[in-house]
Amino acid sequence: MIIGETIVARATPEGQAAIGIIRVSGPESGRILGEVFRSRHKRPFDHPRSLITGVMHDRAGNPLDEVMVAYFAGPRSYTGEDMVEIHCHGGEAVIRTLLDLLQDHGAREARRGEFSQRSFENGKRNLLSVEAILQLIRAGSREQVLGAMKALGGEFERELRELHESLSALLARIEACLDFSEEPDVQALVLPPVQEVRRKADQIQRRIRRSVDGGIETVIAGRPNVGKSSLMNAITGKRTSIVTDEPGTTRDVVRSPLVLNGHRLEFVDTAGIEGEHQGLEKKADQMAARLAREQIERGDLVLWVTDRPEELGDSPILGRTIRVIRVLSKCDLLDPLTRQRLTAEQRPAAFVTTSASTGEGIDSLLHAVQSEVERWLGPADGIPVSVRQARSCRLLDQAMVKLQESLDNHMLELAAIDLRDALRAVGQLLGQDTEPDVLARIFDEFCVGK
Ligand SMILES: Nc1nc2c(ncn2[C@@H]2O[C@H](COP(=O)(O)OP(=O)(O)OP(=O)(O)O)[C@@H](O)[C@H]2O)c(=O)[nH]1
Ligand SMILES: [Mg+2]
């Protein structure tokens, strides 16, 4: 990246809107603004960080739009450089014309995430807060907004720095003990700080929310005609999927979104599948079954539906699927004796009994889905971590487990190695010494203009 260049991009999305915002950043921002903007009242440079009304002009003096501009003198700006924000009318042609004008006067079109990258490289933001901004923009629910704001507010960073300090202190203590490891009270000496780092590391692990791209795919699967589509409609409260009494009704994959306690889910209704040797006659049926299997493999969570209690233990095709909730459907059709037996047998969370016809059990099913998602990803308003950060969290977790083992076995040398691993993981989470290609990947996920 060449810091000397002045960059320009729209900050608002394409399409018509009341206003559009264009951002300019770099040393030439002020010069360019002076050339294209005229105001009858004030000069933006005399009133930095305030909105000034005026008109944009091309080189020939033609007025192009009435706008409001704000001038930010570096380093007091988002990027840390001189910046201009232009609030223009939100028409495509207006914005395009102004972008061309600004480029004509020497600005270059910004790459994705370039504004944030400059803010990072100029020391305005660290990697954690840059990534928190990305999570905030992507948040799909109020809870996720709250979670991203916790990270942006520095809460996560503070906890990580505390853990980093405790780990370093413990390492120093263990290294000091290494020469005396024969002495019986060495263990007692390191035990309290070990408990403290464990507590801090656990707290961090508990409070984070791992991210998945898009909604959490929750696939509804089972044999034909067990009531999958009816269940999908009952869950989402919409008639997205066709229901008939004939097996083989659903062929295409039908999707319906739902926000569940702050988690963005995408329910996916699939065609029925039989065991491996099903004799499907029609090509369309065969293709539908293949599509369903692919969905099951790809899904984040599978609701395996059956209408026969004796089949609750079966899972013919769930080989590699990790997260499965078993659902007994059509429970309104069960005879009272079977119902009684099932209630008596039912271990908590082993399966959920539902009826799409009466609505029974739908809430319990949603509860089970929520618990499963939170067990996997953490709470919806937890501090969001990127895939990169999630990897570091896993390393931290592994290092803490090994640390405990090494200490249990009185191997202080090994414990020191584990502590260094843990420190490295926390350092990665804090964005210290991040490789350039990792940085490039992070900023590439942003939109242009951010
Ligand atoms: N009594 C009762 N009938 C149900 C219930 N849920 C579904 N059914 C009936 O079961 C039949 C099949 O329902 P669907 O929802 O189409 O089942 P499906 O699993 O999607 O079927 P395919 O797409 O063909 O695999 C229909 O006649 C539904 O009315 C229920 O909870 N109780
Ligand atoms: Mg169906």
Q: CA–CA separation, 305 vs 354, rounded Å?
A: 10
Shared domain check, 195 and 224? no
Prior bond of 184 cis (ω within 30°) = no
Question: At residue 222, what are phi and psi to the nearest 5 degrees?
Answer: 165, -175
Question: At residue 37, what are phi and psi to the nearest 5 degrees?
Answer: -120, 135
Domain boundary among 104, 123, 142: 123
Assigned domain for 437 exists: no
User: Which pLDDT score, from 0 to 100, does residue 320 have?
Assistant: 62
Determine whether the shortest distance from the Cβ of 272 to ligand 1 is under 6 A: yes
**The domain that contains 260 carries what CATH number?**
3.40.50.300
List C-alpha distances in Å: 405 to 199, 399, 401: 16, 10, 6
Shared domain check, 143 and 48? no
| Count of residues in the chain | 450
Shared domain check, 187 and 39? no
Instruction: Compute, in angstroms, the gap from residue 356 CA to the centroid of ligand 1.
Output: 8
Q: Which of 220, 223, 225 has most ligand 1 atoms within 8 Å of its beta carbon, as the pocket-test mutant?
A: 225
Shared domain check, 223 and 372? yes
DSSP structure class, residue 27: T
Shared domain check, 225 and 367? yes
Shared domain check, 373 and 227? yes
User: Which pLDDT score, from 0 to 100, does residue 2 have?
Assistant: 47
Nearest of 1, 417, 359, 435 to residue 175 by alpha carbon: 417
Assigned domain for 2 exists: no
Q: CA–CA separation, 229 vs 250, rounded Å?
A: 8
Shared domain check, 289 and 366? yes
The atom number, within ligand 1, closest to the CA of 233 reads 15
Instruction: Compute, in angstroms, the gap from residue 245 CA to the centroid of ligand 2.
Output: 10
Assigned domain for 69 exists: yes
Domain that holds residue 90: 7-123
Shared domain check, 186 and 141? yes
Shared domain check, 192 and 154? yes
Assigned domain for 291 exists: yes
Q: CA–CA separation, 397 vs 272, rounded Å?
A: 40
User: Which pLDDT score, from 0 to 100, does residue 19 have?
Assistant: 95
Count how many domains the chain has: 3
Assigned domain for 287 exists: yes
Determine whether the shortest distance from the Cβ of 247 to ligand 1 is under 6 A: yes
CB burial readout 98-128, b (16+ within 10 A) else e: bbebbeebebbebbbbbbbbbbbebebbbbb
Residue 22 in contact with residue 14, Cβ under 8 Å? no
The atom number, within ligand 1, closest to the CA of 230 reads 15
Collect the ranges in the chain with pLDDT lower than 50.
1-2
Paired tokens of 107: 């600005």
DSSP assignments along 278-328, one per residue: ----SHHHHHHHHHHHHHHHH-SEEEEEES-GGGTT--TT-TT---EEEEE
Paired tokens of 391: 């990897």
Instruction: Compute, in angstroms, the gap from residue 342 CA to the centroid of ligand 2.
Output: 25
Shared domain check, 59 and 102? yes
List C-alpha distances in Å: 242 to 228, 237, 251, 265, 291: 10, 13, 10, 20, 17
**The domain that contains 68 carries what CATH number?**
3.30.1360.120
Cα 140–Cα 144–Cα 146 angle in degrees, nearest 5: 135
Nearest of 160, 35, 12 to residue 90 by alpha carbon: 12
**The domain that contains 408 carries what CATH number?**
1.20.120.430
User: Which pLDDT score, from 0 to 100, does residue 62 have?
Assistant: 95
Domain boundary among 88, 106, 123: 123
Shared domain check, 423 and 297? no
428 Cβ neighbours under 8 A, 6+ residues apart = 388, 389, 391, 392, 395, 434
| Nearest protein CA to atom 28 of ligand 1, as residue | 245
Nearest of 232, 254, 252 to residue 329 by alpha carbon: 232
Domain boundary among 123, 140, 164: 123
Assigned domain for 364 exists: yes
Assigned domain for 438 exists: no
Determine whether the shortest distance from the Cβ of 223 to ligand 1 is under 6 A: no
Shared domain check, 244 and 355? yes
Assigned domain for 416 exists: yes
Q: Which of 242, 243, 291 has most ligand 1 atoms within 8 Å of its beta carbon, as the pocket-test mutant?
A: 243
Residue 22 in contact with residue 95, Cβ under 8 Å? yes
